[in-house]
Structure 1
């Protein structure tokens, strides 16, 4: 069951909270949808789902991830605050987010986080692992975003290209984590 949380006040910096949980994505944003085949069977589904919902996939792909959870390896839950570090050394950009919804279902596992004040973009991104009726396991990144800082506005069309490249890279990385489990 997909669990969408709505706090008493909206803390995200965009009006379309939870929109990655359904289609169509809202207008006025760059849209990203990338799907990668991960493998076959329940073991691949469970390994990939755990890697995604504990931020293992993000952490081991080179991102720095800090959460508001007491146990940083705990599974995501709605309302969890996350800071993702993008870049290297002094060029690292902090990207604060909040988990908007989670899905812990027999054939679907994942979550979405939305951007908070201080994030270079505004929008939402979901990371979902599915297993279909034939046992094929898929990892899907869905996002909508637009610039929220001077440097992402200046970068213009380069930002969506980088986002898509990272979605492809993360898909291959999740495939490797699932195969190693």
Structure 2
């Protein structure tokens, strides 16, 4: 089994209502993005978004190739995502550290005040060292958010030199994740 490339694991595991400000390992670049997704039925949209995140749909809709060991993101599952075209495709191996499914009430509706999704950590061959979390959040007042968090450092001197390009790529992929999250939540 591949070993993680960093020691400070688990900081993306933030169940509701744990905040995203603070509590990150020192020495890493931290990124947290939260986007509200308007929905006529926030409960149903939360379940759809969470299930889409857990079944790799968020990543695929964002344009990444996904080669997972399992159909769902469960702890221990290894996945290799790919970004780019042809020989310029960058492969990024990771292992899922935590995952959270929607909690439903007796009527099958999502209970307000929860997060669903997963977090994974980097394995050898990934261009950065660190962790990323993908969350659907249903607030206590029934508002739906997509949240992405990450903490990372370049994995090699080459990627350290390329870090401005890496950061731009991360911002671009994040914008694609937000678009994909909206599509998953509203069934587009």
| Bin for the TM-score computed over the shorter chain | 0.7 to 0.9
Please report how far the alpha carbon of residue 84 of structure 1 lies from its aligned counterpart in structure 2 after TM superposition: 0.3
Moved more, 139-148 or 30-39: 30-39
Aligned residues: 169
The two structures have a TM-score, normalised by structure 1, of 0.86
Residue 4 of structure 1 corresponds to none
Deviation at 1:151, TM superposition (A): 3.3
Following superposition, which runs of at least 4 residues in structure 1 exceed 6 angstroms of deviation? none
Instruction: Give the C-alpha shift of residue 119 in structure 1.
Output: 0.7
Q: RMSD over aligned Cα, in angstroms?
A: 1.7
Q: Give the strand-richer structure, 1 or 2.
A: 1
- Aligned match of 2:29: 30
Q: Which residue of 1 aligns with 2:148?
A: 141
Of 24-33 and 152-161, deviating more is: 152-161
Aligned to 1:174: 181
CA deviations over 1:96-149 (Å, ceiling 9, x no partner)? 000011112422211000000111100000001010122111110000001013
Gaps of 5+ in 1: 1-8
Residue 88 of structure 2 corresponds to which residue in structure 1?
A: 91
Establish whether residue 164 from structure 1 lines up as the match of residue 171 from structure 2.
yes
What pairs with 1:48-127 in structure 2 (closer than 5 Å)? 48-69=49-70, 74-106=71-103, 107-127=114-134
Unaligned runs of 5+ in 2: 15-21, 104-113
